Structures are given as C-alpha cells and as structure tokens.
Amino acid sequence: MNKKITLSKTWKTTLAAVLILSLTIVFLAGCASGNSSKQAANSGTNTSTSQAAIANSSTATDTDGDGIPASVEKTYGTNPYVADTDGDGVGDKEDKTPVVSETVINETSTAQLPIKIKDARVEDNATSDHLEITLTNTGSTALDNFDIYYTITDKVDKTQEAYYQSLSGLSLNAGETKTIHFDNQVKEIGHYYGNMNGLYGTSKNGLTFDILLHSKGYQPMKFQVEKAKGTAEVAD
C-alpha cells in the first residue's frame, strides 16, 4: 500500500515538473518573438530615417553646381549663383578663403584710364540693393577688356572681403555711357555676380567699398563707395 502511494506521489511530481517546464519554454519563446518584432520595427524606423536624410541631401538645391547646397552657402557666406564666389580661380568647396581674393590685375601701363564715374552706389537702387556703377568713356577710342577688383570693409569690426571679376561683354565706344550691375542677373547684358550672403547682405554696420576698375592697356582707376548702417535691402 505504501509503495503505491509513493509511486503515485512520484508520478504527480514528475507531471507537475513537466508542466512547469513546458510553460517556461512557451513563455521564453513568446518573449524572444516579441523582442525580435521590436528589433525589426526599430530597424525599419532607423532605415527609413537614414534613407530620408540621404534623399533630402541628394535633392538639395545647388544652383551653381559647386557641390554646396544653396542653404549651406548662406551659412558659409558664399554666393549660391557662382561656383567661385571671390573669383580667384578656386571653387568655393576647395577654397579656404572663399570670399577673399587677391587681385590678379597686373598692369604695367601708366596711361590714365579715360573713364568718368558718373554714379556709383550700393543702396537706394531702383531694384534691390546692389553695387551699381555708371561710367562714361571720355576718350577718343573704344574701351574693352574690363575687369574689376574690390574690397568690402566693415567700418566697425574691420572684417574684410575681396572679389575679382572679369567684366565680360562690357565695351564702351568714345563718349558712350553705360551702367553695370552686380546683382546676379547675369543673363542680362551689363549684369554680373554680387555676393549678398557676405558682409553686404549680413553686416548691420557701415561698409566701405574700395574699387579698382581696369581696362587692358590703362592704369587701374581707384574709387570708393560708402554704405550706411543696416543690411542691404534684398528683393523677396
């Protein structure tokens, strides 16, 4: 009789152990499945975010094709309309000083440039503010092969930028007057690049423009334009 009772207790104990073990296996399998699902979900979210970031970067507007999106050029202080903002021959992406060019004007002639500056302004333009120069050929022969070099200096903190440009297409017959604009509307005759992301468009202090106008075969002409306090007015 005692032997039967002992066997019965042993069988019940074994059955209970098997049942507990089975429940434990089922529970652990469920946890593992849940964790896998969460990991898959998290992985999918991260992948989507990365893909979106790459997509945003690859579709960012790069107007001048210099490898720097226009929105970043604004932060850098460079011109989004031209790949070489300061005109020194080095693209903005590689240039360590993209808004400071050394002058490349190298003229040995001492002949005076027969030009009269009738007007030079950097504010109160008919359109948005920009460097605008009206010049007259006071000589007896036509002038061409113009280029320009100018610096912009902050009157308060003395920060300085410097730009060089070849004035392609500009020529003046004897006695002729023309106005040139540095407003990035380069598809129009007499219009050239102007950096509104630099001091001109960001400094609230007064600015001084020191300009060197040159035509091949003549000594460069120097003149200066002052800008009052406040950033330049830019069209929307």
C-alpha closest to that of 198 among 165, 166, 152 = 152
Q: What is the pLDDT of residues 89-131, one digit of tens each?
A: 999 999 999 999 999 999 999 999 999 999 999 999 998 999 9
Residues 80 and 108 sit within 8 Å (Cβ to Cβ): no
Instruction: Give the long-range contacts of residues 24-29, CB within 8 A, separation 24 or more.
Output: none
CA distance 211 to 150: 4
> Is the alpha carbon torsion for 188, 213, 199, 203 positive or negative?
negative
Q: What is the pLDDT of residue 230?
A: 81
Distance of alpha carbon 121 from alpha carbon 127, whole angstroms: 12
Q: What pTM, to 2 d.p., does this model score?
A: 0.74
pLDDT attached to residue 232 = 77
- Give the CA distances from residue 236 to residues 62, 129, 205, 227, 228, in Å, rounded to whole numbers and listed in that order: 19, 12, 22, 21, 21
pLDDT one digit per residue (tens) for the chain, 236 residues: 444 444 445 545 554 554 555 555 544 455 444 444 443 344 333 434 333 332 454 557 999 999 999 999 999 999 999 999 999 999 999 999 999 999 999 999 999 999 999 999 999 999 899 999 999 999 999 999 999 999 999 999 999 999 999 999 999 999 999 999 999 999 999 999 999 999 999 999 999 999 999 999 999 999 999 999 987 765 54
Q: What is the pLDDT of residues 129-157, one digit of tens each?
A: 999 999 999 999 999 999 999 999 999 99
Contacts of 33 (CB under 8 A, 6+ apart): none
